[in-house]
Amino acid sequence: MRHFYKFSILLLVFTVISCSKFDDFLGDGKDDDDDYDDPISVNFQYRSTLQVGGEGASEIAAFDPETNKLFVVNVESTVISVFDISNVDSPVVLSPIDISAFGAPNSVAVHDEMLAVAVEAAVKQDPGQILIFDTETQMLSASYPAGALPDMVTFSPNGKYVIAANEGEPDDNYLNDPEGSITIVNLKSGNIKTADFNSFNSQESSLEDKGFRVFGPNANLAQDVEPEYIVVSADSKTAWVALQENNGVARVNLNSGRVTDIYPLGFKDYSMPGNKIDASNKDGDIILKNWPVFGIYHPDAIEYVNINGAEYIITANEGDAREYEGTPGFIEEERIKDIVLDPTAFPDAAILQEEANLGRLKITTTLGDLDNDGDFDELYSFGARSFTIWTTNGQMVYDSGDDIAFQTSALTPESFNGGKEPTGEFDDRSDDKGAEPEAVEVLNIDDERYILFVGLERNDQVMVYDITNPYAPVFLDILSNDGDDAPEGVLAIPAADSPTGKDLLVVSNEDSGTVSFYENK
């Protein structure tokens, strides 16, 4: 009994001390010790919209804090449109940068008063270029050769390198299929290195066993890879490159100019809890269910973040099918209602293939016939309808599962899976890739909160999450503006660089040709 009393007294003392500490943590609204700071708020509100042009006039944007210029890839006019956004409510149109003599612009990036532009050749299977302009004078200062179809360009944080992801897409006949590669330009020495994938040709089989895809007609791995998007580590030593069609991420040593690793991303199981999808655009409603289907992650944009010393990469799992309609061409997609399902694997095939169930869902014909007998034992659809946080060696930390579908269906059901009235129809893209997470961007607020923005191409929306704990992100908000259609790029401008003195989000909308600004109030 004495031991019980001693324990009770100790417990009482511990509780009093703990409550006191807890009260200190919560604060009492007073500034007695001046050691309590209000939590950093995250409340992005629509500010204004800039009409750049028509469809294709606004794809990717980059901002120069020295001049307050916003540079926007304008494919419609084959220029880089330029705006002074010192006043985001009344941007000033400046002279554009004409790219037509070089090719078509695909991407822009800014660092230290330099503007880099990724330019594809007139024949996109030919080598492209990286052009460097002075952000003040807008004059061309340098040009560097790149690989076929440089689709994305970025600077390393220290400004030493400018790097392009050369997608290397085939022609429409699928007869000219250049190698995918990464161009690395050392801006200090002028040295150019090309990181290719030839050393991985011998590893094709083992990578495919882990979920990597090499499936183009008559293509080896080096030809088949299509680098899509690049991010660079804070120390400027390493880059990660999304290989969208191939369902993987490559790691690149920038100093040696070599691809050191390929990380297959595997597949998402839509039959598992937390992974429900609406698989039909003919079911008449939002119906989220588990189905015997796998999703191929197919990352588009990729982001890097360092949180409390730990490094992560984040992917927007958009999905992409190869559709080349030339001769002979190559088309990999088919609807489930139009294929033969293995009767043992799918004893309820007739029910599954109804249009209101899985019949409308598009899948790849390059996977799933495990025994090569002409019917499908497994089903693989395009994209994962989510964002994913990975370690820098490709291990999954967190996948948003079906959260995008649940949040958009609950808060904005009229926009669910591609509802874009009056130009689109509610639920229109459920049979394809859903909302299509296309873009990702992270805003670091005072090293205390890390905010993730996820652009949804088909929903015309941007999701906002707090990923300060990358193992347990928290949904915060959905941003949208009437008239904005198909966000292609999202750009966060921290308060220290912002013309408003507050954090800004810049959303480039490809189909509507608009750029919209959101401000953290």
Report the pLDDT value the prediction gives residue 303, as an integer from 0 to 100: 98
Task: Kindly report, residue by residue over 486-496, the tens digit of the pLDDT.
Answer: 999 999 999 99
Around Cβ 387, how many Cβ atoms within 10 Å?
A: 27
Report the pLDDT value the prediction gives residue 22, as an integer from 0 to 100: 32
* Contact (Cβ atoms closer than 8 angstroms) between residue 154 and residue 109: yes
**92-98 and 79-84 beta bridge pairing:** antiparallel
Is the pLDDT confidence value at 14 over 70?
Answer: no
Which is higher by pLDDT, 289 or 40? 289
% of the chain exceeding 90 in pLDDT: 90
* Contact (Cβ atoms closer than 8 angstroms) between residue 445 and residue 306: no
* Contact (Cβ atoms closer than 8 angstroms) between residue 177 and residue 167: no
Angle at 354 (CA atoms; ends 344, 414), nearest 5 degrees:
130
Distance CA 461, CA 482 (A): 10
For the chain, the C-alpha Rg in angstroms (whole number) is 25
Confidence category of residue 5, pLDDT binned at 50, 70, 90: very low
Query: Three-state DSSP class for 218?
Result: coil
Report the pLDDT value the prediction gives residue 38, as an integer from 0 to 100: 53
Report the pLDDT value the prediction gives residue 208, as an integer from 0 to 100: 98
Task: Kindly report, residue by residue over 230-243, the tens digit of the pLDDT.
Answer: 999 999 999 999 99
Is the pLDDT confidence value at 39 over 80?
Answer: no
Residue (of 380, 390, 223) closest to 302 by Cα position: 390
Confidence category of residue 419, pLDDT binned at 50, 70, 90: confident
Distance CA 510, CA 514 (A): 7
% of the chain exceeding 70 in pLDDT: 92
Angle at 497 (CA atoms; ends 495, 498), nearest 5 degrees:
60
Is the pLDDT confidence value at 170 over 90?
Answer: yes
Distance CA 364, CA 278 (A): 18
Confidence category of residue 7, pLDDT binned at 50, 70, 90: very low
Least confident of 36-50, 180-194, 261-275: 36-50
Q: Which CB contacts under 8 angstroms, 24+ apart, belong to 237-241?
A: 238/392, 239/156, 239/163, 239/182, 239/184, 240/302, 240/304, 240/313, 240/392, 241/165, 241/182, 241/302
Distance CA 519, CA 43 (A): 8
Q: Structure tokens of 141?
A: 């200062």
Average pLDDT, the chain: 93
Least confident of 2-6, 180-184, 263-267, 380-384: 2-6
* Contact (Cβ atoms closer than 8 angstroms) between residue 400 and residue 473: yes
Is the pLDDT confidence value at 153 over 80?
Answer: yes
Task: Kindly report, residue by residue over 302-345, the tens digit of the pLDDT.
Answer: 999 999 999 999 999 999 999 999 999 999 999 999 999 999 99
Cβ-based neighbours of 121, under 8 Å, separated by 6 or more: 103, 127, 128, 129, 148
Distance CA 427, CA 419 (A): 6
How far CA 166 is from CA of 133, 149, 240, in Å, comes to 20, 5, 13
Tell me the average pLDDT across 180-199. 98
Distance CA 62, CA 230 (A): 15
Distance CA 127, CA 155 (A): 20
Residue 237 carries which side chain, given as an amino acid letter?
Answer: K
Angle at 10 (CA atoms; ends 5, 11), nearest 5 degrees:
95
Report the pLDDT value the prediction gives residue 12, as an integer from 0 to 100: 36
Confidence category of residue 425, pLDDT binned at 50, 70, 90: confident
Distance CA 160, CA 168 (A): 25
Confidence category of residue 24, pLDDT binned at 50, 70, 90: very low
Distance CA 167, CA 272 (A): 33
Around Cβ 117, how many Cβ atoms within 10 Å?
A: 27
* Number of residues written out for the chain: 521
Report the pLDDT value the prediction gives residue 426, as an integer from 0 to 100: 82
Task: Kindly report, residue by residue over 455-511, the tens digit of the pLDDT.
Answer: 999 999 999 999 999 999 999 999 999 999 999 999 999 999 999 999 999 999 999
